Structure 1
């Protein structure tokens, strides 16, 4: 069994041990469209130890009989990758545009993630037809323009589909703490000319109101530090070695096995 398979099996076991929570309760009690996100990279063993520290308030999202779900995202950026460069440079007034499809149900959402006060992530989303996921429809363009105008007072340049990302996810939810923890495995990044597999690790993302949630404290107790990581930026850096990526070079070398030319 490969390390990646081990991570999947460990995540399945962790999900099966938890009481279930339905999607309606998640959306009413812990939607967290405005939150602070922190990302961590865990081995399968670290995931096991982390889940053991999570108390019974954390339940697992279950829809039908499923607790592990397939996701596929299409990211949009300018021809010269302005969004990637803004993120790399830490520009405060930056945003990320994508379509996200839940592959088990076919539900597709057009999403815009902006940065609010205190580095809080704000997610704006609208449902769309699955067939529109690989482009920005006229309705999505109106929605995008209105969000960015309201948030930043800026016009949106022409955006193109530049990267596709797929993975499987389990979501732990603690309504009592207003927290969610997502665990992603089997990451894959691709564009029209290449495909790159993600790391032999579990990408854990905590979502809380202040960035210092119960899950963050548990990870800190295990000596696991959060990492500066965006799936979009890491995927683009892997697919485009010519792009500057000094912000993520160490992460790419140590956890993604990427030997890039130094910027």
Structure 2
């Protein structure tokens, strides 16, 4: 963990959720080398706080992404379709808590709907499908086929609350992707994904990133990972990222 994170004041999960429960938000993603990420963290405003639970500030996550047989979710992202979506379960590995989540796009904003999930993280039952259908219908999206678990993504996450109390940033590292169909894996040991989540305007974290020459990029953990594991898929949007030497087979 960066010393810049260790030295920040903590924020509890309840306080974080009350301050920045942004389920409709503008997301900006940045792909950085680990050393560059450390420099960005050190440059954040001093009043930035770090999520802390039971003394820990970095937590293990697993996301299992679901897709249709013809990969409608993946192709929607690859081709920048206006009505694109993702369906996943997200497991907080340290606590065992799990949610079923549906993400859609509304213009430049991301809308996330989530449901506490007590079933297997790699299976969506009838109740779960009802939740997914309902969430998609709110954005006039029709499910294109049966959903099957397609890709697992494991990573470590640190969450930051910006001084304005209304925006946050996440710092993801140690990413590992596993293709459910083949069992193949890819890792990105030297890559850090910083994601800022705010209202319409940029956050203080965005301004720090911009001053240091980092610009938002179109990156999806699901789509990038699946493209790396299945190179025959259309992947022009992520060609530069996939060619990085620190995205290891």
- What is the TM-score with the length of structure 2 in the denominator? 0.94
Rounded to whole Å, the distance in 2 between the matches of 1:105 and 1:82 is 32
- Picking from 193, 212, 217, the partner of 1:222 is 212
After TM superposition, the structure 1 stretch with the greater mean CA deviation from structure 2, 104-113 or 140-149, is 140-149
Q: Which residue of 2 aligns with 1:23?
A: 13
User: SS at 2:236's partner residue?
Assistant: coil
The aligned counterpart of 2:128 is 140
Q: Detail structure 1 runs of 4+ shifted over 4 Å in the superposition.
A: 255-259
Establish whether residue 97 from structure 1 lines up as the match of residue 90 from structure 2: no
* 1:5 aligned partner: none
Of 144, 155, 163 in structure 2, the residue corresponding to residue 167 of structure 1 is: 155
User: Alignment RMSD, CA only?
Assistant: 1.7
Gap regions ≥5 residues in structure 2: none
Sort the Cα spacing of 1:222 and 1:84 in 2 relative to 1 into closer, same or farther, 3 A: same
Matched residues in 2 for 1:103 and 1:196: separation? 20
Give the length in aligned residue pairs: 247
Aligned counterpart, 1:6:
none
Cα distance in 1, alignment partners of residues 81 and 41 from structure 2: 34
Other structure's SS at 1:124 match? strand
Q: Which ranges of structure 1 fall in alignment gaps of 5 or more residues?
A: 1-8
Counterpart in the other structure of 2:96: 106
Match of 2:244 in 1: 254
Counterpart of 1:204 in 2: which secondary structure?
strand
1:144-155 alignment runs, 5 A limit: 144-155=132-143
CA contact (8 A) 1:30 1:174 kept: no
Q: Tell me which protein shows more helix as a share of its residues.
A: 1
* In structure 1, distance between residues paired with 2:186 and 2:51: 28
**Match in the other structure for 2:45:** 55
Structure 1, residues 77-117: CA drift from partner, whole Å, max 9, x if none?
0111111111111111111000000000000000000111x
Offset of residue 158 of structure 1: 1.0
Is residue 188–residue 247 contact of structure 2 (8 Å, CA) maintained in 1? no
Distance apart, 1:15 and its partner CA: 2.2
* Cα distance, 1:28 vs structure 2: 0.9
Local SS of the residue matching 1:217: helix
Q: TM-score, normalised by structure 1?
A: 0.89
Tell which deviates more after alignment, 147-156 or 176-185: 147-156
User: 1:157: which partner in 2?
Assistant: 145
What is the Cα deviation at residue 64 of structure 1? 1.3
1:45 to 13, 27, 35: 35
Q: How far 1:254 moved relative to its partner?
A: 2.6
